[in-house]
Structure 1
């Protein structure tokens, strides 16, 4: 089961980073490359514990839907979402925010299991783990850009 961990320092208060990371509208903005949009559950504003959101996006040229649920939240330091329906066999995404001098260290830990057993493991090694890493890093950089420009 691949585990992707990415750390991003952001020169902004922890509360700002936390709220941006759980904001559906900002998620849509930071994933524009995959044409991601919220089509079910909470479709705008801030996600709270127990909320579901269904995302529609294009990955590998295929339009896909994925429903995630926020299962844990400690404001403003951590929230966790899991996939309840979608292309993966499972995933857990832990979003952590640590106050540091001059800003916030945002830590994404994304653990997933590919479908299709041994074929999924091969897909991970060939392209999927790299693709998901790039997706997480790209979104973190966009969150940094937005947070550091909040007035």
Structure 2
């Protein structure tokens, strides 16, 4: 018989807890209930702390862009005050005449705006915090454009909605 066999008991105890396990341990709420608003607060906190100058674990620009994109979907799912940035972006685009045939730039659709924002992000070198804000803008424009552009925000919203 080796040392391992002596250290491990032959049978595990029948129960670790006397009465019932602590609430939330085996019912899916391992970390307690977070909620959509709580997830929005955490996303914003992650962006603000991760993109700060001198942060211990600073986010690079690409990670900040992804975090901003995810945060935008979380904000939309949380509703209330969290939906204000997306509402402002949509109203701003509408005020600029996007999607209106009689707009100042002719007929500019949301697909063109989505492609324009994508090109802007691709060709401009942003600092991490600006990259996070561009991620917020990107997710809102993609969701508003719909079609193929709306697939990624829909997937992120489905995943993050299941987490809240």
* TM-score (structure 2 length as normaliser): 0.27
Q: Which has the higher helix share?
A: 2
* TM-score (structure 1 length as normaliser): 0.28
Q: Which has the higher strand share?
A: 1
Larger radius of gyration: 2
